[in-house]
Structure formats: structure tokens, C-alpha cells
Amino acid sequence: MDRTERFYRIERLLRERGSISLADLMARLDVSRPTVVRDIAYLRDRMGVPIVFDRARNGYHLADRRESPRHRLPGLWFNADEIRALRVASRLLAHLEPSLLQAPLAPLEPRLRELLGDDAGACAEAALLERVCLRAPARRPVPEGAFQTVASALLQCRRLSLGYREPGIARLHGRQVSVQRLVHFQDNWFIDAWCHGDECARAIPLHAVASLSLLEATAVLLPPDEVARRFDPGYGAPLAGGDGMADVDSTLADPPPAQAVAARGAAARRVRLLFSPEVAGAVARGSWHPEQRMRLLEDGQLRLELPCEDPAQWLSLALQHGRHCEVLEPPALRLLVADELMAIARRYAELG
């Protein structure tokens, strides 16, 4: 039994029995006298549990057996391993997205360290964090407070009023939406939402949002299977896969009928990329999206077609292959790549 579990056991025994001797506590906890004395002192002095010793009854009891907020132990029961796992998970999440849970979890850190109270565990945590890393090279910063506002909209079932800019378009779009879910995809966050103005489904990149506010109006929530049907085709996770080119079709399949496209949601679009023979094999071995389509051309080039909601989600794929990748469409992605490459060229020109 670890220290945290002993704390809960001691408090429960005191509440259930009214008074309990030191010898009885030692037997029930299977620990030595000094350990019980230290645990009682910690509960009394550090956690505010009103434990007193009654010489007449030769035992410990609670001066006030009512559970007041001042000395009540935390309502969730964690053992030492679970506390360490929670601390490691919170730190890894901070690397993934600093504004996600950092503020809500910050007040818990001192309390968790007090409950653990062992240097060996802290060393083990530090060693683990050195060996487990989360890298998000394509992550774009999210506006401060955006997560809290979107989470409130989801939890309270309220609509959002937001303003955002589409890639390559300077004009700010104002929309009233009902958030269906919050999605993390390729290092960035997206709001899957129902747009009440256009009466359609839209995946909105959270980093492109310039303003967010909660509305009193009740949100319209689609059934989960409907949300998946409308939005899932626009997402996929890049995975290393395959050792050959089995995923490459000799010809690109005909476009789906208009009815099938409409069923995927009005916002669904396609990205088409052309890769040079030098990188065609490596790209072909990748699994970029469940609905990807490839065609190997006679001259050795590879044409890759991917569904997308936001063209910017494939910007990193196009840029990482440099001159070996050309964006065929959509124009918005071509513009993004061109602007990025010109900015890079200007930077190097300034450096001489």
C-alpha cells in the first residue's frame, strides 16, 4: 500500500470507528510505528485533517467528524502510479498544445507533489519525460482562450459567433455555428461545426479564428454518425506504411458521382499534388489518408489526390518535398505554397 492510499485508509477508519489506537492502525496498514506517526502528522499539519490523540481512550479520533471543505481529502482516488501517470500526461499535453490544459492543471501540481513526496518517483518522472517526446513541427498557435470558449460551447450546448480568415483570403468571415466536435489533425486544431448562415458543415482551423464569443442560442447537434459521415472524409493521419508501391493505382479512379460528393458535406474539397520521380517512391509508400488516390505516370512522376477541408492542412506535405512537389490544385494551396517560398527567398536574399 502506497502513501496516498494510506491517507485515505486512515481518514476512513477514523470516520467509521470514531477512535482507533496506534497499534490498530499499524496492523491495518501493515506499516511501522514511525510511518503511522508521520502519516498522521502530515494529514493534520499539511492537509488540515483535525486528528487529535485522546489519552483516555488511547487512540486517535477526529475533532470534527463532519466533512468540511477545509479538510476533506480529494474526491478522486489515485494511487502513486496513477498520480505519476497524470503528471507525465499533463506535461506531454503541454508540449502538444500549451494552452489546452496548462492553466486548469497548474493548481494541482503542488498538491500532487505533496501527495507523492518521494524523490525516487520524481527522478523516474524526469527520466521518462526525457525519453518520451511530442514534436509538432507544423503546429500553429491558437488564440488565447479559444479552447476554453469552444469547450464551453460544447459542454453548455450553446452556439458560437466567430470570425476567421480562409487561407490566402484577407477578408474576415463572420459566422454563427454550432460546434459538433474539436479535432486535432496534423499538429493543428479544427472546429467541426454546423454553419447556420450557409446551412452546411464546415471544418474551421482554430488558428485562423480571429474572434470567438458564446451566444445564448441553443446549439444544433447532429447525430454522431452524421458528424462522422460529413467530416471524416476530410481528415487522415500521415503514417509510414508499406514497403512497396501496392497503394499506387495505374490509373486514377473516376471522380465520384455528384450525389456521393454532396453526401460528404458541402465543404469537402480535393488537393492534387504532383511529385517528381526522385521522391515518387517514398511518397507512394506513405499512407496519407484513408481515401487517398495515386497515379504513377509514364515519366515516373506520381500524382496524389487527397480530400481536405482546409488546404493549409497539406501545406507541410507540399513544402517538405521542395522543388520535387507541385500543387496542381486547389488555387488556395498553390498561393499558400508560393507565398511561403517567396518569403523564404526574401529571407535568404536579406542574409546575402
Cell numbers linked to 291: 481515401
What integer pLDDT is reported at residue 73 of this predicted model? 56
Q: Which residues in 197-215 are b (16+ Cβ under 10 Å) and which e?
A: eeeebbbbbbbbbeebeee
Per-residue pLDDT, averaged over 107-124, amounts to: 62
Please state whether the predicted TM-score (pTM) of the whole model is above 0.75.
no
**Nearest CA among 60, 137, 128, 45 for reference residue 92:** 128
CA distance 26 to 34: 9
Domain locations in the chain? Answer: 3-62, 80-131, 146-232, 239-351
Q: What is the CATH number of domain 146-232?
A: 2.30.30
**Nearest CA among 68, 63, 73, 56 for reference residue 18:** 63
pLDDT tens digits, one per residue of 204-255:
888 888 889 999 999 999 999 898 888 876 664 333 333 333 233 333 433 3
What integer pLDDT is reported at residue 255 of this predicted model? 38
Query: H/E/C letters for each residue in the chain?
Result: CCHHHHHHHHHHHHHHHCEECHHHHHHHHCCCHHHHHHHHHHHHHCCCCCEEEECCCCEEEECCCCCCCCCCCCCCCCCHHHHHHHHHHHHHHHHHCHHHHHHHHCCHHHHHHHHHCCHHHHHHHHHHHHHCCCCCCCCCCCCCCHHHHHHHHHHHCEEEEEEECCCCCCCCEEEEEEEEEEEEECCEEEEEEEECCCCEEEEEEHHHEEEEEEEEEECCCCCHHHHHHHHHHHCCCCEECCCCCCCCECCCCCCCCHHHHHHCCCCCEEEEEEECHHHHHHHHCEECCCCCEEEECCCCCEEEEEEECCHHHHHHHHHHCHHHEEEEECHHHHHHHHHHHHHHHHHHHHHC
Strand partners, 195: 177, 200
**Nearest CA among 206, 208, 205, 179 for reference residue 194:** 179
pLDDT tens digits, one per residue of 162-192:
988 765 556 777 889 999 998 887 778 889 9
Cell numbers linked to 12: 476512513
What integer pLDDT is reported at residue 143 of this predicted model? 80
Beta strand 158-164 with 209-218: parallel, antiparallel or unpaired? antiparallel
Q: Are 286 and 307 in contact (CB under 8 A)?
A: no
- Work out the number of other CB atoms within 10 angstroms of the CB of residue 237: 10
pLDDT band at 108 (very low <50, low <70, confident <90, very high): low
Q: Is the pLDDT of residue 95 over 90?
A: no
- Give the residue carrying C-alpha cell 472546429: 191
Percent of the chain with pLDDT over 90: 20
Q: Is the pLDDT of residue 151 over 60?
A: yes
pLDDT tens digits, one per residue of 71-86:
555 555 556 666 667 6
| Fold observed for domain 3-62 | Arc Repressor Mutant, subunit A (1.10.10)
What integer pLDDT is reported at residue 72 of this predicted model? 53
Q: Are 320 and 288 in contact (CB under 8 A)?
A: no
What integer pLDDT is reported at residue 292 of this predicted model? 84
**Nearest CA among 37, 43, 32, 38 for reference residue 8:** 43
